[in-house]
């Protein structure tokens, strides 16, 4: 059974930084497309950062230049370094592992963005950014 756990959320003032961590355990059967979504209450999940199995990252426009996604394959972990945080970044952040090849593992791919019913998901970690 696959277990995905996000940690590192919390409260921070605008302009501050946080680093989210995601550990993945269990047989993921090649789910090397690893990324992050976020969700506000009453809204759908927004894909914000993803890295394919060649460690190529792509980002949503809303976070590009401020957030950095990275992986540690030895630890089976994926990270999201968030800097220059803004109040509109406040959300629940989710990690996901998907069985997608490099041609489908990027922000904007309908196979990644549109299928939040697929893959291995964690329970999320909450981020609050105060003005």
Q: How far apart are CA 57 and CA 64, in angstroms?
A: 10
Residue-wise pLDDT tens digits, 90-114: 999 999 999 999 899 999 898 898 8
The residue ranking higher by pLDDT, 127 or 115, is 127
Q: Is the pLDDT of residue 115 over 90?
A: no
* Residue 41 confidence class, pLDDT cut points 50, 70, 90: confident
CB neighbour class for 23 (10 Å; exposed up to 12, middle 13-18, buried from 19) = middle
Q: Which two tokens stand for residue 114?
A: 């549109």
Q: Is the pLDDT of residue 30 over 90?
A: no
Mean of pLDDT values over 59-85: 96
- Residues near 61 by beta carbon (within 8 Å), at least 6 away in sequence: none
The residue ranking higher by pLDDT, 20 or 30, is 20
Q: How far apart are CA 5 and CA 64, in angstroms?
A: 24
Q: Is the pLDDT of residue 116 over 90?
A: no
């Amino acid at each position: 059974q696959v277990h995905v756990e996000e940690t590192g959320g919390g409260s921070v003032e605008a302009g501050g930084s946080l680093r989210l961590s995601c550990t993945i355990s269990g047989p993921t059967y090649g789910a090397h497309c690893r990324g992050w979504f976020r969700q506000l209450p009453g809204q759908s999940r927004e894909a914000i950062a993803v890295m394919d199995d060649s460690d190529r990252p792509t980002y949503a426009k809303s976070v590009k230049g401020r957030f950095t996604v990275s992986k540690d394959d030895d630890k089976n972990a994926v990270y999201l370094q968030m800097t220059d945080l803004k109040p509109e970044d406040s959300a629940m952040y989710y990690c996901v592992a998907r069985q997608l090849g490099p041609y489908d593992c990027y922000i904007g791919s309908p196979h990644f963005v549109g299928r939040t019913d697929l893959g291995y998901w964690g329970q999320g970690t909450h981020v609050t950014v105060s003005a």
